[in-house]
Amino acid sequence: MTGSQKLFESKLEIINIGLPDFTLPFQQHETKFVQVDFRPGLQANAGACAKALLQTSLTENANQEVMEKILAARPAWTGMGIARDLIPGMRENTILHAGPPISWDRMCGPMRGGIIGAIIYEGKANTPDEAEELAAGGVFEFRPCHEHNAVGPMAGIVSPSMPVFVVKNETHGNVAYATQNEGLGKVLRYGAYSDEVIARLKWMEQTLYPTLKGAIEKAGRIDLKNIIAQALHMGDEVHNRNRAATSLFYRALAPWVVETAKSREVAVEVLNFINGNDHFFLNLSMAASKATLQAAQGIENSSIVVTMARNGTDFGVQLAGTGGRWFTGPAPVPDALFFKGYTKDDANPDIGDSAITETAGLGGFAIAASPAIVQFVGGQAADAVNYTLQMYEITAAENNVYQIPGLDFRGTPTGIDVRKVIEKNILPFIDTGVAHKNPGIGQVGAGVLSAPAEPFVRAFEGLFG
Amino acid sequence: MVVKGFVRKGEYHDSVTLMRVAKFLSEQAGVSDSAIVMATEENKHVLSAAGLAFPEIRNAVETDLIMVVKVESADKAEDLLAEASRELKARNKNSEISYQPKSLDSALKILPTANFALISVAGRYAGDEAMKALQRGLHVMLFSDNVSIEKEIELKTYAASKDLLVMGPDAGTAIINGVPLAFANNVRRGNVGIVAASGTGLQEASTLISNYGAGISQAIGTGGRDVKEKVGGLMFLQAVKLLLDDPDTKVILLISKPPHESVLKKIIAAVKNTGKPVITTFLGSDPTPILKAGLIPTITLDEGAWKAARMVMGRSAAESVLEVNQDISRTRAQLDTTAAQLTSTLAKTQQYLRALYTGGTYVGETQVLLNGKIKNIFSNAPWGESKIALDSMKSQFNTIIDFGEDEFTVGRPHPMIDFSLRNRRILEEARDPETAVLLLDLVLGWGAHKDPLAELIPVLREAQTIAKTAGRQLPIVMCITGTDTDPQCRSRVVTAIKECGVIVVESNAGAAYLVGKIVQSVRQS
């Protein structure tokens, strides 16, 4: 029997691409159908499109290798150290920042603020003016965290004296670094550099750091993949909500702190600091994501995104198959809920390395797991579910460990395939905090945004150019 | 009994899932004991105590998953562990129902058994979407126009090689397995199979057959270009072949503007001597080669439809032809009387026909019928002796306008949905003292205007008032395409339109005959 004759003998089951009214008779005639919400793809140059098509199986094979690496990664917190001692390529005058490379003159307010704060913290300047002069004067080299196996939220400033978490991908052996989270309010990562900011950084260096170092040395390791998986079941997406993950982390950590802290007072102080900061785990979820994705970097021909990062001016993308190349475009201003007294006019364009969580299948990609924060995306749990469902359209796999209870434990959409982003014109959905555009003020809101198209088009053309 | 199990490093599952799968495993035949747990120290002790420990457990830590089973053989254990692993991954995807997928591929994830894609996105994207659908094994109806002929050939060649249908591009109408697609009507199911390279033609024929009491097995639209030389009838021929093989199709009705000579030859070769009666309505083409091949040529859509209907209702081919011809003659005699009555009410200035159509096929059919009978016909889609309208927006002499042509549709919906341009024109024609009769179509069914009366009746009344105020009677003749099971219900619409004093004729050919008579009588008097 031919295919068409079979059609006459079976029930029609229809995919309707276009005018929704055409499905009206299907309802009346008891015909199964699915309506496609069609949108034209992004415009990329024709040569790249043709080459992408031609290289389909080559790309697919590379992507499979990439996804195997990403899904097999097992990030764990294994130690503490000082940036200058651990981070490769970190020199005395190096300051790391979030996002793709950027020069001082193009930096946004909060990033400049963070750098001013770091210079003061390092004791290289006494006043903000002095620090600014040094920063502008070419004394320091500013480099992306991502190029030094590190990630930083918001401004993402890492200077040589700062303590860092060591997160090891135990499957592949690679290591990623992140600073300790300062908490909310006036903090360096939002570009604040007042005395209280510097004082807190000093406390973190002198009290928090040695205590955590002692604890992790005694514990050996704390499995971050496991904590993240459990946190997703407890309402976190580990980007804008880290309450459950921080709690789980606290439970895993507390006995070791009590056992190893210099004194009971220090133990209380450190544990209270962590307990008082719902975002303490964010830097660990970021480092875990980075350690996961690092393993896939440099696999030729792969169209999987391994970095999305913003410096408050540009949004940058890196692909597994294009080595260290950055593909950038202007960073958009997030759609946010603002704290009392602030509006979108106060908001800085999107900033931070934290989109590494989305790149690893967490954050906005896992927002369906986090009904507690749906006020950021329209207020209804269904909105969050739809955002996650949409991300399955542009990803290569469903996560084997990170799952969403509300989707019957379906794995989170993982591994952004830039080809799908172009073809379907669906851009990665990112949860984010919003910094004030002026240095020194701090966070003014939190919200969501769709990544801008330009860096993805460029990356696509870069891979298939 | 053997104890067999494995440790999966770092694989985390919530306890509810673990319990569900543990229950599943324990219920399998031959299982004497089993466990699926995270490797906490406590769980490890429990396993040891139960005799379910195995060497790898010793190094497992609380973030690792342990699955173990105790059965009579190692092979059986392997099978069960594999099955339980699958069960662990099993997900219910029903939760996606409320989500509207953004692409064909994700739609296929929701409806993996889909066998058909209806595509109506803008032409520049439609071709690629159609190819994707074909590559995934779906039959395609491509409603979109503005798809290049090269793309059409590529799609149809590929489809033919995979034994798939591509209806279109620019296929407005089809009915497959009783399901109306795009601009189509609710018709009875039955034994007439239709292949049409013309959308409105298919609607007219299928509704006339249904209203006659017969029904449709399949109605396949191919898009108008299919029967041109370049495409070579690729899908028309495939559709014909399908209907020949379809046991539910007893009579085949072929509808098109005249196919290219080479295509016609292929069609004739495909259908002659097959034992199935074949009726053709190739509007305006020479019936000789069709007669010669033993097929039944008809001039108009109603003639083809009624002959097909009669044949599946138990009459022989010869009887059907004879009886339908007699019926048509009788109807026309009545229309002659009506024409005479209407002509007598006209003022001296009223000399010309103004036909304003939304269905493209009707524009052709009306010109075929009036060709040579009335002079000076102008149209934006001329046929035969008609001349091209210099300005589609303004009537001259006898004018027949297709509101579905590009000059009316760019940037707006189809005139079957959006009446505004034609409504305005109706009023203009009413103001013109030279207008002798207004001929309009109204196509009902899916895709068409949902509440046509609300928009049309006020305009019809206003047109009559305009004429009356100027001291004239304005006859309005309409054909209304549809069935009583259509969402708009044809009989309800017909009654309401007749109440406005409009003459409703059963078919477009009948309506065209009537207005032709009126214009002819005006010229004679």
Residues B435-491 pLDDT 10s? 999 999 999 999 999 999 999 999 999 999 999 999 999 999 999 999 999 999 999
Interface test with B, best of A17, A170, A392 (most B CBs within 10 A): A17
Interface test with B, best of A5, A9, A29, A38 (most B CBs within 10 A): A38
Tracing tokens 């503007």 back to the chain, one arrives at: B257
Tracing tokens 């229950």 back to the chain, one arrives at: B23
E strands, A273-409, are: 305-311, 314-319, 327-330, 335-338, 351-352, 395-404
- Rounded to the nearest angstrom, the minimum Cα separation between A460 and chain B is 19
CB A403 within 8 A of CB A237: no
Residue B194 falls in which region: left (phi positive, over 0), alpha (psi -120 to 50) or beta: beta
User: Considering the domain boundaries, does residue B333 fall inside one?
Assistant: yes
SS3 label, residue A304: strand
**Whether the predicted interface score ipTM is above 0.90:** no
Could you tell me which chain A residue has the CA closest to the CA of B18?
Answer: A409
Residues 6+ apart with CB under 8 A from B90: none
- Rounded to the nearest angstrom, the minimum Cα separation between B300 and chain A is 29
B106-131: burial string, b at 16+ Cβ within 10 Å, e else: bbbebeeebbbbbbbbeeebbbbbbb
Residue closest to A416 by CA, chosen among A338, A356, A368, A347: A356
Residues 6+ apart with CB under 8 A from A139: A93
Tracing tokens 């298919």 back to the chain, one arrives at: B202
How many angstroms separate the CA atoms of A324 and A297, rounded?
Answer: 8
DSSP string, B58-123: GG--TTSEEEEEEES-HHHHHHHHHHHHHHHH----GGGTTS--SSHHHHHHH-TT--EEEE-S-H
- Rounded to the nearest angstrom, the minimum Cα separation between B394 and chain A is 32
Of residues B92, B114, B125, nearest to A14 (C-beta): B114
Q: Given CB atoms, is A22 within the 8 Å cutoff of chain B?
A: yes
Token duo for residue B261: 């000579």
How many angstroms separate the CA atoms of B126 and A16, rounded?
Answer: 12
Residue B468 neighbours by CB distance under 10 Å: 12
- Rounded to the nearest angstrom, the minimum Cα separation between A399 and chain B is 11
Alpha-carbon separation of residue B95 from A307, A393, A404, A408, B87 (angstroms): 30, 16, 12, 8, 18
How many angstroms separate the CA atoms of A358 and A191, rounded?
Answer: 23
How many angstroms separate the CA atoms of A103 and A105, rounded?
Answer: 6
User: Considering the domain boundaries, does residue B419 fall inside one?
Assistant: yes
CATH of the domain at B46: 3.30.70
Asked if B99 lies within 8 A of A233 by C-beta distance, the reply is: no
What predicted TM-score, i.e. pTM, was given to this entire model? 0.79
The β-bridge relationship of strands B189-196 and B251-256 is parallel
Asked if A406 lies within 8 A of B95 by C-beta distance, the reply is: yes
How many angstroms separate the CA atoms of B282 and B289, rounded?
Answer: 12
Residue pLDDT tens, chain A, 465 long: 456 668 899 999 999 998 888 999 998 999 999 999 888 888 899 999 999 999 999 999 999 999 999 999 999 999 999 999 999 999 999 999 999 999 999 999 999 999 999 999 999 999 999 999 999 999 999 999 999 999 999 999 999 999 999 999 999 999 999 999 999 888 999 999 999 999 999 999 999 999 999 999 999 999 999 999 999 999 999 999 999 999 999 999 999 999 999 999 999 999 999 999 999 999 999 999 999 999 999 999 999 999 999 999 999 999 999 999 999 999 999 888 888 788 889 999 999 999 999 999 999 999 999 988 877 766 678 888 999 999 999 999 999 999 999 999 999 999 999 999 999 999 999 999 899 999 878 888 888 899 999 999 999 999 998
Which chain B residues are Cβ-neighbours of A16 within 8 angstroms?
A: 117-118, 120
Which chain B residues are Cβ-neighbours of A26 within 8 angstroms?
A: 179
Positions of chain B with pLDDT under 70? 14-16, 90-98, 411, 524-525
Domain of B252 in residue numbering reads as: 189-315
Asked if A15 lies within 8 A of B117 by C-beta distance, the reply is: yes
- Rounded to the nearest angstrom, the minimum Cα separation between A11 and chain B is 7
Asked if A14 lies within 8 A of B447 by C-beta distance, the reply is: no
Residues A128-162 pLDDT 10s? 999 999 999 999 999 999 999 999 999 999 999 99
Of residues A18, A36, A410, nearest to B91 (C-beta): A410
Q: pLDDT value at position B524?
A: 64
How many angstroms separate the CA atoms of B174 and B218, rounded?
Answer: 8
How many angstroms separate the CA atoms of A435 and A207, rounded?
Answer: 28
How many angstroms separate the CA atoms of B169 and B392, rounded?
Answer: 25
CB B103 within 8 A of CB B82: no
DSSP string, A86-146: HSTT--TTEEEESSS---GGG--HHHHHHHHHHHHHTTS-SSHHHHHHHHHTT-SEEEEGG
B367: exposed, middle or buried (Cβ count in 10 Å: 0-12, 13-18, 19+)? buried
Asked if B129 lies within 8 A of A385 by C-beta distance, the reply is: no
Alpha-carbon separation of residue B337 from B141, B341, B479, B494 (angstroms): 44, 6, 18, 21
Residue closest to A233 by CA, chosen among A221, A247, A223: A247
User: Count of CB contacts below 8 A, A vs B?
Assistant: 186
Q: Are residues B368 and B487 in the same domain?
A: yes
Report CA dihedral (B244, B248, B251, B252) to the nearest 10 degrees: -50
User: Considering the domain boundaries, does residue B6 fall inside one?
Assistant: yes
Asked if B95 lies within 8 A of A407 by C-beta distance, the reply is: yes
CATH of the domain at B361: 3.40.50.261
Domain boundary among B315, B336, B361: B315
Interface test with A, best of B65, B89, B91 (most A CBs within 10 A): B91
Q: Are residues B395 and B499 in the same domain?
A: yes
The superfamily CATH assigns to domain A46-70+297-463 is v583 domain like (3.90.1700.10)
- Rounded to the nearest angstrom, the minimum Cα separation between B414 and chain A is 12
Could you tell me which chain B residue has the CA closest to the CA of A34?
Answer: B107
Residue B435 backbone dihedrals phi, psi, to 5 degrees: -70, 120
Of residues A29, A74, A390, nearest to B179 (C-beta): A29
Our count of domains for chain B comes to 3
Q: Number of helices (H) and strands (E), helices first, in chain A?
A: 17, 17
CB A240 within 8 A of CB A432: yes
Residue closest to A160 by CA, chosen among A150, A174, A146, A173: A150
Of residues B98, B102, B245, nearest to A5 (C-beta): B245
> Which contacts of A207-211 are long-range, i.e. CB under 8 A and separated by 24 or more positions?
A207/A266, A207/A269, A207/A270, A208/A163, A208/A180, A208/A270, A208/A273, A209/A80, A209/A163, A209/A180, A210/A262, A211/A257, A211/A260, A211/A261, A211/A262, A211/A266, A211/A267, A211/A270
User: Considering the domain boundaries, does residue B180 fall inside one?
Assistant: no
Q: Given CB atoms, is A223 within the 8 Å cutoff of chain B?
A: yes
Residue closest to B361 by CA, chosen among B304, B402, B419: B402
Instruction: Provide the residue type at B226 as one letter.
Output: D
Q: Are residues B406 and B506 in the same domain?
A: yes
Which chain A residues are Cβ-neighbours of B446 within 8 angstroms?
A: 21-22, 24-25
Asked if A22 lies within 8 A of B143 by C-beta distance, the reply is: yes
User: Considering the domain boundaries, does residue B223 fall inside one?
Assistant: yes
Q: Are residues B224 and B340 in the same domain?
A: no
Q: Are residues B338 and B487 in the same domain?
A: yes
Q: Given CB atoms, is A33 within the 8 Å cutoff of chain B?
A: yes
Q: Given CB atoms, is A172 within the 8 Å cutoff of chain B?
A: no
Tracing tokens 């379907």 back to the chain, one arrives at: A424
Chosen CATH of A76-287 out of 3.90.1710.10, 3.40.250.10, 3.40.50.1010, 3.40.50.2300 = 3.90.1710.10
How many angstroms separate the CA atoms of A368 and B99, rounded?
Answer: 13
Instruction: For residue A15, list its beta bridge partners.
Output: A34, B117
Rounded CA Rg of chain A: 23
How many angstroms separate the CA atoms of A446 and A184, rounded?
Answer: 12
Q: Indicate the domain borders of chain A.
A: 3-36, 46-70+297-463, 76-287
SS3 label, residue A424: helix
Q: Are residues B433 and B487 in the same domain?
A: yes
Domain boundary among B42, B61, B90: B90
Of residues B116, B120, B129, nearest to A13 (C-beta): B116
Residue closest to B99 by CA, chosen among A38, A369, A386, A15: A386
Domain boundary among B286, B315, B344: B315
Alpha-carbon separation of residue B480 from A310, B9, B331 (angstroms): 62, 71, 17
User: Considering the domain boundaries, does residue B158 fall inside one?
Assistant: no
Report CA dihedral (A445, A450, A454, A459) to the nearest 10 degrees: 110
The β-bridge relationship of strands A94-97 and B352-357 is unpaired
Q: Are residues B495 and B401 in the same domain?
A: yes
Asked if A424 lies within 8 A of B99 by C-beta distance, the reply is: no
Q: Given CB atoms, is A36 within the 8 Å cutoff of chain B?
A: yes
Q: Are residues B339 and B471 in the same domain?
A: yes
The Cβ-side half-sphere exposure at A129, using a 13 Å CA radius, reads 0
Alpha-carbon separation of residue B53 from A204, B17, B61, B324, B482 (angstroms): 45, 22, 14, 87, 75
